[in-house]
Structure 1
Amino acid sequence: MELLGAATVVLLVCIACLLSITAWRGRSGKGKMPPGPAPLPILGNLLQVKPKDLATTLQKLSEEYGPVFTVHLGSDPVVVLHGHDVVKEALVDRADEFAARGHMPIGDRANNGLGIIFSNNQEWLQVRRFALSTLRNFGMGKRSIEERIQEESEHLLEEINKTKGTPFDPTFTLSCAVSNVICSIVFGRRYDYKDKKFLALMNNMNNIFEMTNSYWGQLYQMFSNILDYLPGPHNKIFTEFDALKAFVAEEVKIHQATLDPSSPQDFIDCFLTKMQEEKEHPNSSFHMKNLITSAFDLFIAGTETTSTTVRYGLLLLLKYPKIQASYSALLLVLSQGTTIFPVLTSVLHDSKEFPNPNEFNPGHFLNENGTFRKSEFFMPFSAGKRICPGESLARMEIFLLMAIILQNFTLKPVVDPQELSITPTLSGTTNVPPAYQLCAVPR
């Protein structure tokens, strides 16, 4: 039986390889793609594109091939946009042409074309507009959501105070705080930081981001047509997705039992009401599967990226204590069918706008008199039609959480600041900071 199983795997690999070679040959003669390194059959540009540090790899390729170039992720050609000018032209100046979401194997398999993040066409447009309108109605970008963040900050401060200045890893504490803000909008409730179910969800999300940015996750993005048929660590990503969606589905059932269409309390209530309004339309975008996927998208997108940013911010302040001291003092006053990769990192680190772009220097965003200087190169939330719908919420959360932490605590590293590494441990779709501990000493 074991021999039979091994033979089956070998046969599947051979078939997948033949299909990949056929697809590669078919594409090689179609159209004129931008310049780039010559791909190998099946492997594409795997030898040149290092999944563990994708941003650095793409930067080096742009130095050789220019701001617009082609790389092959497996057998799939991807056009990379590197630098402010070409990214702005695509995402802002020609927003309609570049509004579609490219091929993203992990997201495509997890969401099956539904939701907000990995969907396309009219269904995406309708659900995104609905989500933006609903989020605004529940206070996103307004004073009311600022009050929710400040309320959650009190719970965060209470949790940090419990450490009594001893070393701790802030990962899950920050994730809980940030997640509770989006939970109050999507689910109409917050969760206690010790709630076992809630902590399990935080763990699910952390695993998804780590696995997605891991070597196996990046390989899946390149060779999904092969790895879909093979066992391996890449399949665990989808187990984590399923666990989170099961939680969302459970919340939806609870909301169905208590729904009052005349007085919706949160995003799920609003979506259920919209479903009732459109129940006579067989092709409506507002159905149960899309509700679960959309709520899941908001939940995970509104938690992990913001908490990771705050965590990275605290790490930088630990490494540069003089900057922490100065800002703490201030705060105590206050082509059709082709996948396109606009590399936002190349804009955020553009030396034309930011001298010494790889150094941590808040002065990049200050005028000579110390006032804030806005830069159109700063686009961490992307730009154009696919700009993050939660941008205003994330900006407010990052500012308020960082400010409140620094107003109440002096952050001390456990090791010499010079020994702290700020190089991402994972760098793919997101940059994940290395694990660290800190001591929060009350002021």
Structure 2
Amino acid sequence: MENLFLQPTSTTTLLVTAGILLVWYVFYPNFDRKRKDLPGPRPLPLFGNLFQINPKSFNSTLYELSKKYGSVFTVYLGPQKVVILAGYKTVKDALVNHAVEFGDRYSSPGFHDLSGEQRNGIIFANGDSWKEMRRFALINLRDFGMGKKAAENKIIEEVQYLIDVFERHEGQPFSTAKSINNAVSNIISSIVFGSRFEYSDEEFTLMITRANDNFRLLGSSSLQLYNMFPWIFQWARNRRHLKRNVAENRKQMKRLIGRLQGTLNVEMCRGFVDTFLAHRQKLEDLKITDAHYDIENLVSTTANLFVAGTDTTGTTLRWILLLMAKYPQIQDQVQAELSRVVGDRQVRAEDRKNLPFADAVIHETQRFANILPISVPHQTSTDVTFQGHFIRKGTPVFPLLTSVLWDESEWESPHTFNPAHFLDKDGKFVKRDAFMAFSAGRRACPGEGLAQMELFLFFTSLVQRFSFTPPPGVKEDDLDLTPALSFTRTPSPHELCAISRGGIQN
């Protein structure tokens, strides 16, 4: 009888001991003796700060925590220690002044699924592969119009296609999302593939739909939990959906590349893909082996450019038209400036310097809408002491761009849509140091120049031709600015009316 009582007690003790050892094994390596130097909410073993973070509003949670714990603090996403950088001065100090130390890319389980097993391309790669692909892309994308006159002509051509789509709705309510995404995606497609797609092209629209869907999935609660506890949530439906999307888009990219490869003329490259293939062929002719220039790396780089050149610019344009409908007096001012400076002719890139209010509205939309609230995660490349805090090599680092674009010490009214943030007392456009919509440092968006030209030409051309209003029976005040749940801050589904204002003379 005595053994019957002792056996359960011994078993319980053994299980508790094993549990403590397991927690110690999984969790302890993420603590270090410098932990006291890094403020942050107290984590629980294994669970970390799970119960203090709202997975449906991850960036908002971090933003609120930054107000309590300062500009450099830690959170534990499950057992994973993460350093959060908040505020303009701190984020700039890390990404610009300590660019090498904070320059590596951290790939969470979700981003690992998005980037694939190879982890090559531009966005998620590290080391020599990243350096070579970024260098090659920057040089050759410029040759095909990135930020140049050739890009301007492509954008103006695409503006006309988009205007035709808007005109067909004849002033009736419609969602701008699909047509804007198609138009914006065609700009990067023409630069990368050498030609645009028809909006009815099923292959094209499926690629865009899946790419946009992936941002939604990455922002979902189940993917946030998968990032924290991949061994538990690896079978989550959204994770399986993400992997299917990625696999299908890679197949489509390979098919598109295969067609271009079959018609390649190295003397007349049509776009970035042709240039990559021509360089690869040259290396083969010279019998030089360079692992950076394989087809898998081309697929990843092309996919990176396609997604980066579609989502954020398209999302910003959707926000700006929604904001024009919500604030008609601001739309009136933009249109008055356009009428005074440009008249009825097509707006050109060179007009930007004479349209300060329109330029301010675009920049303020990027600041206020805060499209990418958290930069794609970084990782320390070495041990670093930063602003008095010791951070170990390999530590994930999240630059909180929300805290930069809404920094109360940098912006007069950070939580209000106010184009005056970018205007001086004489109404001239002014740059603001704390405008960090494209991140900064080594990992800053390489397509910033192209994106800014697209936003300017699309926006001014659209408001020159149309006035955007809420649907009949909906007041401006009732237009909802609450973002949808996604990795990027996208507008919630909505409809607008595009009321024609007359023609544009090319």
TM-score by length of structure 1 reads 0.92
* Aligned match of 2:79: 75
Q: 2:413 aligns with which of 336, 345, 356?
A: 356
* Aligned match of 1:407: 464
Q: Distance in 2 between matches of 1:149 and 1:54?
A: 35
Contact 1:426 1:433 in 2 (8 A): no
Worse-superposed segment, 278-287 or 44-53: 278-287
Task: For 1:212-291, list aligned pairs within 5 A.
Answer: 212-228=218-234, 230-279=235-284, 280-291=287-298
Task: For 1:4-403, list aligned pairs within 5 A.
Answer: 22-29=25-32, 31-32=34-35, 34-111=38-115, 112=117, 113-228=119-234, 230-279=235-284, 280-332=287-339, 333=341, 334=355, 335=391, 336-403=393-460
* Aligned match of 1:3: none
Contact 1:67 1:81 in 2 (8 A): yes
Q: Distance in 2 between matches of 1:307 and 1:208?
A: 15
Worse-superposed segment, 347-356 or 297-306: 347-356
Q: Which amino acid aligns with 2:397?
A: I
* Aligned match of 1:11: none
Q: CA deviation at 1:19?
A: 6.3
Give the direction of change, closer, same or farther, for the CA distance of 1:129–1:19 in structure 2 (3 Å limit). farther
* Aligned match of 1:10: none
Q: 2:482 aligns with which of 414, 420, 423?
A: 423
Q: Distance in 2 between matches of 1:16 and 1:166?
A: 62
Contact 2:63 2:402 in 1 (8 A): no
Q: Secondary structure at the match of 2:291?
A: coil
Q: Distance in 2 between matches of 1:373 and 1:209?
A: 32
Contact 1:20 1:75 in 2 (8 A): no
Contact 2:167 2:500 in 1 (8 A): yes
Worse-superposed segment, 369-378 or 197-206: 197-206
1:41-66 deviation line (CA, Å, top 9, x unaligned): 33221111212222221121111111
Contact 1:349 1:357 in 2 (8 A): yes
Q: Secondary structure at the match of 1:236?
A: helix
Contact 1:82 1:342 in 2 (8 A): yes
Q: Secondary structure at the match of 1:77?
A: strand
Q: Which amino acid aligns with 2:28?
A: R
Q: Secondary structure at the match of 1:437?
A: coil
Q: Which amino acid aligns with 1:358?
A: H
Contact 2:63 2:400 in 1 (8 A): no
Contact 1:16 1:225 in 2 (8 A): no
* Aligned match of 2:491: 433
1:13-46 deviation line (CA, Å, top 9, x unaligned): xx99986762212222454361111112332211
Q: CA deviation at 1:238?
A: 1.4
Q: Secondary structure at the match of 1:53?
A: helix
Q: Distance in 1 between matches of 2:309 and 2:215?
A: 13
Q: Distance in 1 between matches of 2:262 and 2:331?
A: 49
Q: Distance in 2 between matches of 1:97 and 1:28?
A: 20
Contact 1:16 1:226 in 2 (8 A): no
Q: Distance in 2 between matches of 1:433 and 1:194?
A: 24
1:378-411 deviation line (CA, Å, top 9, x unaligned): 0100000000011111111111111111000010
Give the direction of change, closer, same or farther, for the CA distance of 1:30–1:116 in structure 2 (3 Å limit). farther
Contact 1:100 1:120 in 2 (8 A): yes
Give the direction of change, closer, same or farther, for the CA distance of 1:306–1:16 in structure 2 (3 Å limit). farther
Q: Which amino acid aligns with 1:91?
A: L
Worse-superposed segment, 26-35 or 388-397: 26-35
Q: Distance in 1 between matches of 2:22 and 2:500?
A: 61
Q: Distance in 1 between matches of 2:21 and 2:466?
A: 60
Q: Secondary structure at the match of 2:105?
A: coil
Unpaired runs of 5+ in structure 1? 1-14
Give the direction of change, closer, same or farther, for the CA distance of 1:347–1:438 in structure 2 (3 Å limit). same
Contact 2:222 2:233 in 1 (8 A): no
Unpaired runs of 5+ in structure 2? 1-17, 342-354, 356-390, 502-506
* Aligned match of 2:346: none
What number of residue pairs does the alignment pair up?
427
Give the direction of change, closer, same or farther, for the CA distance of 1:178–1:28 in structure 2 (3 Å limit). same
Contact 2:203 2:252 in 1 (8 A): no
Q: Distance in 2 between matches of 1:18 and 1:124?
A: 39
Q: Distance in 1 between matches of 2:19 and 2:462?
A: 52
Q: Distance in 2 between matches of 1:141 and 1:419?
A: 37
Contact 1:17 1:42 in 2 (8 A): no
Q: Distance in 2 between matches of 1:400 and 1:418?
A: 28
Q: Distance in 2 between matches of 1:173 and 1:88?
A: 36
Contact 1:255 1:269 in 2 (8 A): yes
Give the direction of change, closer, same or farther, for the CA distance of 1:365–1:227 in structure 2 (3 Å limit). same
Q: CA deviation at 1:226?
A: 3.1
Q: Distance in 2 between matches of 1:30 and 1:188?
A: 54
> Larger Rg: 1 or 2?
2
Contact 2:113 2:242 in 1 (8 A): no
Q: CA deviation at 1:282?
A: 4.1
Give the direction of change, closer, same or farther, for the CA distance of 1:76–1:283 in structure 2 (3 Å limit). farther
Give the direction of change, closer, same or farther, for the CA distance of 1:17–1:276 in structure 2 (3 Å limit). farther
Q: CA RMSD in A?
A: 1.9
